[in-house]
Amino acid sequence: MFKTDTLSSTVSNDIIQVTRLSKIIENPPNRVEILRDVTFSVPRGQFLAIMGASGSGKSTLLGLIAGLDTVTSGSIVLDGTDITNMREDALARLRGRKIGFVFQSYQLVPTLTAEENILLPAELSGSNGDPRPRARNLLDRVGLSNRGHHYPVQLSGGEQQRVALARAFVTEPPILMADEPTGNLDSANGQHVLDLLLQLNREEKTTLILVTHDPRLAENADRIISLHDGRIFSDELARPPVSTGMEL
């Protein structure tokens, strides 16, 4: 893959451009360099897996790209808009339109039903039209059409994560980010959530950024970026199908 010119952000096919990103926490006498000089771009529609040991900076990187945290230096351009020094209210609006986020610990609102949780981002973003049919459609799609009126505590972990996924997608954002979304699930439920993420990536052309420790999850990705001590250690595109040596 060739690198695109990061200056031509508005005409770029890259939906995310991260340039020389650093995150340093100064807490004298301590200074923690969490991310150092991280540069990469994500083409629209790509499924990117971010891997690395615990503490390598994966969640910090995802949080910065999602505008949930402030950078120390460097820049982040989301779909042509430089979010690096954006004001919080403008950033919140942009985040609502561009990004759906799935957390390891689901983070559903306990006092809202599954359906109300899914509706929440649509209501906050004031999107056009009645979002309820879309919420019900998503509930159906994640296999929970009969659980819309259940509260999170009445749902299993796998079911809660599927609600969280429907919530992340209700505004149909062009970017889905997921931080260890299957980390708390058994393998069957983890596979189900991964299948749903893959479906949104392939069928809806949603750009998918998945942080995971699990190589089996990452092997579904188009590309794997590995972090080591806050730096990019490797950045590899998925290999083309390997020859079995059995062909004529």
Give the interface with Mg ion as residue ranges (CB under 5 A).
59
Q: Please provide residue 218's backbone torsions phi and psi, each rounded to the nearest 5 degrees.
A: -65, -25
Mask for 106-125, x = binds ligand ATP (CB under 6 A): --------------------
Contact of residue 56 among Mg ion, ligand ATP, none (CB under 5-8 Å per partner type): ligand ATP
Structure tokens at 15: 């939906």
Mask for 71-110, x = binds ligand ATP (CB under 6 A): ----------------------------------------
Is 126 exposed, middle or buried (CB count within 10 Å of its CB: 0-12, 13-18, 19+)? exposed
Options 10-18, 53-61, 108-116, 186-194: segment touching ligand ATP (CB under 6 A): 53-61
1 is a contact residue toward ligand ATP (CB under 6 A) = no
Options 50-58, 86-94, 123-131, 235-243: segment touching ligand ATP (CB under 6 A): 50-58
Instruction: Please give the C-alpha separations between residue 216 and each of 51, 67, 144, 187, 238, in angstroms, as whole numbers.
Output: 12, 28, 26, 11, 13
**Residue 55, C-beta contacts closer than 8 angstroms, at least 6 positions apart:** none
Out of 59, 117, 160, 207, which residue is the one contacting ligand ATP (CB under 6 A)? 59
Q: Which of 248, 219, 237, 212 is nearest to 51 (CA)?
A: 212
